[in-house]
């Protein structure tokens, strides 16, 4: 991995009249990771089990029935399903010259430490992107990659766009890679509707789950607020004592439970997933889930290693190894085919 070599040449922080602070605009929020739990991985292939109840049915038997008669009349319960995901190694490096570390510069006591903190923040956002934009299956060969949300949650999908605009990965995260085919244009896409939320909540409910969070891009979040306050909707903008009008909606009370609507700016980035030709995941989906069924499983926590000197520069590396565990995939779902006007 190429490292950026920071030197005094061409930098501005050594200017004598520069204020002794650095104002860095960073979007280091990771709402999906912040919403889910944590656990410990003990191998590069982290496994867990999931189970589900049989469909409701009649268990009436005749008085005095023998055990064999009762057992034969009732359906046998299914065995638990074992799921797994590969741990993914995430890493970034920095390279800082000896002179850069020695000069008295504004706002930074040690350029090396500052750059490590900066790339550490970037890595948290990169992991968030992998979790919410990972349309590929898990991969255990070569450079290991973990399956993200879409690699496991595809049993419950509401397609708001044209038919065929979404092809889900295998539900266990293995097999043929999933492809999101948006086509050569946005013709297959459509704007999110309140009915889409109701539909996915009903689908999840019928599978035995109860979602509590809807996470989507800022554009889709605004679209939902606009639709909620539309002329055909029986909603009222909240006006508090200070005269402030509440335009947005943060909580949607559907027929199948209340759901919190959370924006995630990473889901609105113009990011190409690398599969499906013209595939682009910008604004494409809304994740609808119960955070208690999702966890980050960590094999090696985020840590910094000072690799040492290379000539007159200090090289450092930040590395972590983790994966995503989804204990009940059918308790969550997605609205896909979004992004259209």
The total of other beta-carbon atoms located within 10 Å of residue 244's CB is 9
CATH number, domain of 44, equals 3.90.1690
Whether residue 128 lies inside any domain: the answer is yes
Phi, psi of 329 (to 5 degrees): -55, -35
Domain count along the chain: 1
Helix or strand run (H / E) with residue 72: helix 67-73
Q: Which domain holds residue 312?
A: 5-9+29-51+80-336
pLDDT in tens, the chain (341 residues): 556 666 655 555 544 444 444 455 455 589 999 999 999 999 999 999 877 777 777 777 778 777 666 565 555 666 678 889 999 999 998 888 877 767 767 666 778 788 888 888 888 888 998 898 766 668 888 889 998 998 888 778 888 877 666 665 543 433 333 344 444 345 677 889 999 999 999 999 988 888 999 999 999 999 998 887 765 555 555 555 665 555 567 788 888 989 999 999 999 887 655 444 344 578 888 999 999 999 999 999 988 877 777 777 888 888 999 999 999 888 899 998 887 65
End-to-end Cα separation, the chain, in angstroms:
39
In a domain, 23, yes or no: no
Q: Decide if 131 is inside a domain.
A: yes
Residue at 22 is within a domain: no
103, part of any domain: yes
On whether residue 14 sits in a domain, the answer given is no
Q: What is the pLDDT of residue 84?
A: 93
All residues at 6 or more sequence positions from 168 whose CB lies less than 8 Å from its CB, including other chains: 150, 154, 157, 178
Give 145's strand partners. Answer: 139
**Domain assignment of residue 16, yes or no:** no
| Confidence (pTM) | 0.79
Helix orientation angle between 218-228 and 194-206, rounded to the nearest 10 degrees? 100
As a whole number of angstroms, the distance between CA 52 and CA 56 comes to 12
Rounded to whole angstroms, how far apart are CA atoms 43 and 78?
Answer: 27
In a domain, 43, yes or no: yes
């Amino acid at each position: 991995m190429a490292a950026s070599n920071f030197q005094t040449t061409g930098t501005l922080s050594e200017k004598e009249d520069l204020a002794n602070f650095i104002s860095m605009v960073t979007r280091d929020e990771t709402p999906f990771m912040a919403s889910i739990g944590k656990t410990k991985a003990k191998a590069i292939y982290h496994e867990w089990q999931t189970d589900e109840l049989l469909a409701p049915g009649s268990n009436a038997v005749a008085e005095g029935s023998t055990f064999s008669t009762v057992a034969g009349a009732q359906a046998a319960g299914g065995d638990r399903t074992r799921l797994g995901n590969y741990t993914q190694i995430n890493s970034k490096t920095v390279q800082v010259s000896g002179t850069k570390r020695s000069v008295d510069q504004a706002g930074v006591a040690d350029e090396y430490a500052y750059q490590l903190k900066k790339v550490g923040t970037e890595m948290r956002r990169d992991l968030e992107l992998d979790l919410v934009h990972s349309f590929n299956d898990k991969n255990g060969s070569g450079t290991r990659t973990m399956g993200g949300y879409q690699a496991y949650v595809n049993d419950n999908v509401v397609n708001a766009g044209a038919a065929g605009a979404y092809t889900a990965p295998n539900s266990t995260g293995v097999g043929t890679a999933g492809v999101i085919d948006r086509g050569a244009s946005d013709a297959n896409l459509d704007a999110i509707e309140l009915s889409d939320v109701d539909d996915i909540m009903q689908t999840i409910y019928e599978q035995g789950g109860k979602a509590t969070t809807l996470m989507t891009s800022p554009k889709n979040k605004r679209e939902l607020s606009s639709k909620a306050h539309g002329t055909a909707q029986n909603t009222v903008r909240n006006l508090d004592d200070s005269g402030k009008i509440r335009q947005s909606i943060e909580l949607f009370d559907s027929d199948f439970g209340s759901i919190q609507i959370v924006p995630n700016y990473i889901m609105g980035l113009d990011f190409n997933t690398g599969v499906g030709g013209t595939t682009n995941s910008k604004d494409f989906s809304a994740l609808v889930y119960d955070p208690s069924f999702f966890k980050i499983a960590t094999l090696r926590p985020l840590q910094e290693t000072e690799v040492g000197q290379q000539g007159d520069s200090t090289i450092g590396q930040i590395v972590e190894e983790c994966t995503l565990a989804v204990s009940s995939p059918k308790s969550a779902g997605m609205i896909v085919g979004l992004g259209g006007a």
